[in-house]
């Protein structure tokens, strides 16, 4: 029955959105917009309070405090709320809120995604909300993504205000480790994958590229790689000798150059060596992203190590890139050897017809609100995000519905306060139109 319902949903999408692509908003939609307008000052205050709570990923008490700040607001509109402890994966945990309809389900099952943590730990000098002018404010995590959490809440409150939320099936997952994922990843992201497996549609409230005229229907994954290389040590005067070879550093240079020559033409694929060590002896501290190397100029290098990341827009592209990298690593110079290891990290969210159709519905809602068109973000301009863990589990996904802003992950992070209201209006109309299916 569940699969048949999903097929019916996709079949419906085939004939578009003509009946709701109206030149003006319905009466219920106007009522939702009015509610968001009238409650915006309180929403701003809630955002300020949230920003002023330090919730760097490793500040477990702070991450939980932001969750506890939000939980009663979800409970007030009929959600069952729980805190999923993060001990099994070494993090604070996640806020999960579920709203199941009292009667039959109307519309698709929705999944809404946010995160509580920021990159700013208690040691950072960047700790407080500061209003720069009437529209722009600065603060840790204001746009990435405490503003998005409040936008999500405001949209749900508007649906509650007009009496339609009671018939909707919505799961909310606001993670506590988006900026620095816990380990193992399968446990860290289980709340996301469980909710996605239940849902039909995923909506992420990250800030995307910070531009309200765009949204994400694809996100590149982020995975890591480690290259380990060995050579034959000898006096430097014997380098390249038939029985000695060029050593580990030359072999490493060969590999990296061929990565560049063979993979850089792949659209939306990037592969970056971020750290390299080489010499006679090396030590590597992966947890602290550091290491040491000892070697003399008159000795052929015996060992080398490179670590990097790999970002692809689809699983097919990722697998193709990894296969090419393995082939290059295996074709060694004489008397050298090398191996490359990959970790999976964040999966890619590939573009799909369903995602594009969801963007079209969101775009029409924005136009009907008089807020202009919304187009797809180039996946090169936005990093990995939690919505990627819904890939292959939902029929449609979109992200980037959060607060406009700039300079994320820096002490100059800003948010456009006016977008708190307008982004909530867009999200509310989107979800209401999905409810009408």
**Residues 6 or more apart from 30 whose CB is under 8 A from it?**
none
How far, in Å, CA of 437 to CA of 430, rounded?
A: 12
Torsion of CA 221, 140, 145, 65, to 10 degrees: 110
CATH architecture for residues 222-346: 2-Layer Sandwich (3.30)
Q: Where are the domains of the chain?
A: 2-219+349-435, 222-346
State how far the Cα of 124 lies from the Cα of 130, in Å rounded to an integer. Answer: 16
Please tell me the predicted confidence (pLDDT) of residue 105. Answer: 63
CA distance 213 to 376: 9
Q: Is the peptide bond before 152 cis (omega within 30 degrees of 0)?
A: no
Q: Is the pTM value of this prediction over 0.85?
A: yes
Residue 79, burial from CB neighbour count under 10 angstroms (0-12, 13-18, 19+): buried
Residue pLDDT tens, the chain, 437 long? 334 344 344 444 443 433 344 458 999 999 999 999 999 999 999 999 999 999 999 999 999 999 999 999 999 999 999 999 999 999 999 999 999 998 766 789 999 999 999 999 999 999 999 999 989 999 999 999 999 999 999 999 999 999 999 999 999 999 999 999 999 999 999 999 999 999 999 999 999 898 999 999 999 999 999 999 999 999 999 999 999 999 999 999 999 999 999 999 999 999 999 999 999 999 999 988 999 999 999 999 999 999 999 999 999 999 999 999 999 999 999 999 999 999 988 999 999 999 999 999 999 999 999 999 999 999 888 778 999 999 999 999 999 999 999 999 999 999 999 999 999 999 999 999 999 87
Looking at 340-417, list the stretches that DSSP marks H as alpha helix, in order from N- to C-terminal side: 353-368
Give domain 2-219+349-435's CATH superfamily: Zn peptidases (3.40.630.10)
Query: What pLDDT was estimated at residue 103?
Result: 76
């Amino acid at each position: 029955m569940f699969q048949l319902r999903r097929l019916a949903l996709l079949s419906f999408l085939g004939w578009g959105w003509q009946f709701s692509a109206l030149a003006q908003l319905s009466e219920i939609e106007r009522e939702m917009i009015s509610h968001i307008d009238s409650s915006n000052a309180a929403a701003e205050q809630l955002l300020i309070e949230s920003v002023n709570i330090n919730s760097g990923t490793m500040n477990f008490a702070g991450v939980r405090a932001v969750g506890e700040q939000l939980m009663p607001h979800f409970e007030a509109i009929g959600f069952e709320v729980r805190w999923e402890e993060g001990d099994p994966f070494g993090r604070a945990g996640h806020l999960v809120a579920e709203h199941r309809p009292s009667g039959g389900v109307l519309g698709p099952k929705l999944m809404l995604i946010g995160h509580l943590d920021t990159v700013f730990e208690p040691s950072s000098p960047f700790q407080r909300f500061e209003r720069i002018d009437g529209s722009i404010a600065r603060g840790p995590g204001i746009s990435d993504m405490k503003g998005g959490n409040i936008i999500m809440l405001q949209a749900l409150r508007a649906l509650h205000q007009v009496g339609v939320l009671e018939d909707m099936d919505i799961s909310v997952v606001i993670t506590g480790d988006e900026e620095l994922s816990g380990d193992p990843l399968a446990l860290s992201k289980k709340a996301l994958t469980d909710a996605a497996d239940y849902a039909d549609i995923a909506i992420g409230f990250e800030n995307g590229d910070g531009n309200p005229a765009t949204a994400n229907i694809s996100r590149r994954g982020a995975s890591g790689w480690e290259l380990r290389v060995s050579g034959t040590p000898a006096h430097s005067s014997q380098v390249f000798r038939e029985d000695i070879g060029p050593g580990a550093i030359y072999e490493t240079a060969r590999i990296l150059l061929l990565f560049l020559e063979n993979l850089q033409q792949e659209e939306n694929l990037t592969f970056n060596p971020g750290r390299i060590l080489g010499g006679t002896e090396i030590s590597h501290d992966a947890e602290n992203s550091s290491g040491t190397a000892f070697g003399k100029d008159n000795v052929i290098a015996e060992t080398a190590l490179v670590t990097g990341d790999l970002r692809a827009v689809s699983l097919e592209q990722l697998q193709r890139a990894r296969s090419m990298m393995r082939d290059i690593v295996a074709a060694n110079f004489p008397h050298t050897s090398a191996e490359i290891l990959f970790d999976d990290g964040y999966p890619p969210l590939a573009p799909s017809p369903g995602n594009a159709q969801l963007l079209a519905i969101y775009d029409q809602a924005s136009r009907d609100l008089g807020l202009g068109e919304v187009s797809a973000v180039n996946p090169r301009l936005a990093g990995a995000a939690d919505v990627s863990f819904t890939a292959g589990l939902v029929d449609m996904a979109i992200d980037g519905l959060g607060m406009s802003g700039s300079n994320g992950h820096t002490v100059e992070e800003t948010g456009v306060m006016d977008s708190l209201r307008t982004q909530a209006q867009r999200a509310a109309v989107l979800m209401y139109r999905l409810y009408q299916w």
